[in-house]
Each structure stands twice: as structure tokens, then as C-alpha cells.
Amino acid sequence: MKKIVIACLISSVVALGIAGGAGWGIYHSMTKGTVTVADKPAHEAEDNQDESSSIFVSLPETVVTLHDNEGSDRYMVAELVMVVDTEKDAEKIKKDEPLYQSITVDELSNMKYEDIRALKISEIRKKIFENLKTELAKRKMATPYKDILVKKVVFQ
């Protein structure tokens, strides 16, 4: 009887040791490959932003006149949403709304209808985002938004 109890105790200790070692190995192998947002390059950090505390500021519809290859006028209506962190930034976006619309119209109206129609919405968003960032930097203005979303695009 004593041998059975001792064998059970030894088996239990060995099983706990193996399970603990396996758990430790799995834990460290999983956390070894993770990278925090602070360690990521800027373009990767933008893709994984936490939107739970964000404030969304809708801009009015922007109408852009485009020219097609036949010389006819075509129209594009776009509605953008700026993503900000604070109410102060939201107020700044509302105050500077005409500037953002003007920069957007200027960028998009230089494109041909067929070219912009061939773009995906994500490509249009990226083009607007990069252009706004560049134009605001030229004007020595800070960018109060952290991202831009395209709420609606209509072609006519």
C-alpha cells in the first residue's frame, strides 16, 4: 500500500513538472514574437489603432468636378470623417473644415474621371490622407486628426 501511495505522489510531481514546463514554454514562445505598438513602424501602428476612445467628426459632402477622356464633366461626391482623440481636436477640425475640403477638391479635381473611378475606396482614402498631411505640413499646421475615413463616395 505504501508503494502505491509513493508511486502516486511521484507520478503527480512528475506530471505537474511536465505540465508546468510545457505551460512555461508555450507562454514564452508566444510572447517572444509579439511586438508592442510603440516598437512598430509608424505605418503599421496606424493600421492597428484603438478606436474605442476616438471621436468621429463628419465633414460635409465634398463635390468634385472631374473631366473624362471625352472632355465631358463628371461629378464625384465624397463624404469624409476625421478621427480625433480629444474634443479640442474635434473643434479644430470643425473650425478648419473649409481648408480640408479645399485641399481634397484640389487634389481630386486634378485627376481624370476614369483614373479615379478605377481606384479602390482604400486607395482614395490613402491619397486624400497623404495629400492633407503634405499640404498641412507646407502650411506649417499640425494635423489634429489621426485618421481619415471615407463615409460615402458617389460618381455621376
Q: pLDDT digits over 20-35, tens only?
A: 666 666 666 665 554 4
Positive or negative, the Cα torsion across 128, 134, 139, 142? positive
- How far is it, in rounded angstroms, from Cα 15 to Cα 59? 62
Other CB atoms closer than 10 Å to residue 100's CB: what's the count?
21
Please state at what angle helix 97-109 crosses helix 87-95, rounded to 10 degrees. 60
* Nearest Cα to Cα of residue 76 among 98, 115, 108, 122: 108
Query: Do 88 and 53 meet the contact criterion of CB atoms below 8 Å apart?
Result: no
pLDDT, mean over the chain? 80
Coil, strand or helix: which one is 78? strand
Please, which pLDDT band fits residue 53 given cuts at 50, 70 and 90? confident
CA distances from 144 to 53, 97, 109, 132 (A): 15, 12, 24, 11
Q: Confirm whether pTM is higher than 0.85.
A: no
pLDDT in tens, 63-117: 999 988 888 899 999 999 999 999 999 999 999 999 999 999 998 888 899 999 9
Residue entry with cell 509513493: 6
- How far is it, in rounded angstroms, from Cα 1 to Cα 7? 10
